[in-house]
Amino acid sequence: MTYNVFIYGTLLPGENNHHIASPYLIDRKNGNVTGRLFHVGSFPALVLDHANTVTGEWFTVSEQGLAEMDNLEGYEPNHSNNHYERVWIKDKNNDIEGYVYIYSYAKAIDLKEITSGCWRTFQRTK
């Protein structure tokens, strides 16, 4: 079984956590979803929002790849104290859909917004 996952931060190629996803990576495509990106420190967090766009990539990964990413993102199904939640989302411009890891707005309220909606752009300009 394979899964599409929208990636927008440290799991992207060239970023410090890409090695976690890369052994399980079957395919990747550019993508955009609706949301707002926030700076959590050494990583970003996406909050669902219909007014803005977040740029990233769609990874198609194996079941083990999804489990490894769940572990990195602090996500356990049906657990009330997850660091991130994993939800279903559709690409803004393409017919791709799959999972994405999101923050709640309450967790992001005091964080700096990444107004470009792009982690890589933010990393180059900070």
- Give domain limits for the chain: 2-108
Question: Whole-angstrom Cα distance, residue 96 to residue 17?
Answer: 23
Question: pLDDT, tens digit, for every residue of 52-62?
Answer: 999 999 999 99
Query: CATH: 3.40.50.460, 3.30.530.50, 3.10.490.10, 3.40.50.2300. Which one for 2-108?
Result: 3.10.490.10
Q: Would you say residue 126 has pLDDT above 80? A: no
pTM, 2 dp: 0.96
Predicted pLDDT of residue 125: 85
